[in-house]
Structure 1
Amino acid sequence: MRVERLGQDKIRIFLTFDDLHERGIEKEDIWRDIPKVHDLFNDMMEHAYEELGFEVIGPVAVEVFALPAQGMVVIVTRGRSQTSFMDDNEYDDDIYEMEVTLEESDDVIYYFQDFEYLIDACHRVREVLTEGGKIYGYNERYYLVLDELDLENQSLYNTVIALLSEYGEASTVTKYVLAEYGKLVIGENAVEQLCEHFE
């Protein structure tokens, strides 16, 4: 579990599938209202408090993004607490008022610390994937984004993820963040273009 602060009232938590399995939670369970998912949320909030001093009391907005073969990104935003308008007996600090948004993405996004690793990865991926992909620069890293449409079947999907994992790391940054804050390096057919320019 990795936690990072996005703003005064917003944090991002990255959960790997190992984090979920350790707690006996399957990917599909996240969408269900069951005690072990509540326990997971409480663990995340405790972790966020220990690492960042981020304390949650009252209303929160929770966005969950499922990423393929990587895990889940959970974005928690604190709302304005209404406790000053409530009687102390009506409010329990242990209960969160949650507004939950769930999104699942089949996009594959990997980042590379070094441009050479990105080149090597693209040469390997090009053996099975001849078109598609975008490359962004963001926070001194290079990101390869493959949209779900670029990966037409499960076998190809799994192969591409296995190849990319040899050279890079699964990203917790979504393509929307990259499009807004990153620098677009190659906008289309990035794998093929990079391979043609760097033998």
Structure 2
Amino acid sequence: MDIERINENTLKLFISYHDIEERGFTKDEVWYNREKSEELFWSMMDEINDEEYFEVEGPLWIQVIVQENGLELTITHAKIYKDGQHIEPPFDIEDKQRMMSSAFGGDEPKAHEFDDFEDLVNSTIDEDSDFIFKLQEFDDIIPLAQKIQETSLFHNALYQWEGNYYLHIRFNEEVLHDEAEDIFSVITEFSTDAEVTIHILQEYGKALMEKDCFDTVIKYFVK
């Protein structure tokens, strides 16, 4: 199993079907047997804990993506700040087994994002919601801009304040919740949660790109 740390809150795992078989599971068992899928998941979590990559405590958001030669899992501590306030997700560690079953279960293997995270997004996203993410450095916005899609769905701006870079996101009224989930998924690969509010950034920070920062980055920084 390959483990990649995306940031302090997010890990990306890749496990090949060969590795799954070596662990004593078949591909069909993983997809259609809930007990087996949970057993595989917790064995992977134990490995993460043993290697001290990640503390599997508290609420998690887990995304499973099917690839030709294996499974890719993105695991994020489910913390989101809206208007500077930390929002607690409506699920806890006792729900993880049900969440893992939901991820692998179904008629066909497919990418899956948990209903619990959708509930979180549903309860927090509206046209007046401001979400702030902190970038480690300016260059982090370049791969993010290359990967993000449908930038017309949300306002996006880049600020600098006290030596740090902050991404401001505000969704349009028309945005669908699954579209918002996809956007959050990409953003959290390249940034971390920020407790600062947009009002502080506008008052004391410097607006580097007040609108359409992703399109601007693609235009001027991507060859």
State TM-score, norm by structure 2: 0.42
Structure with higher Rg: it is 1
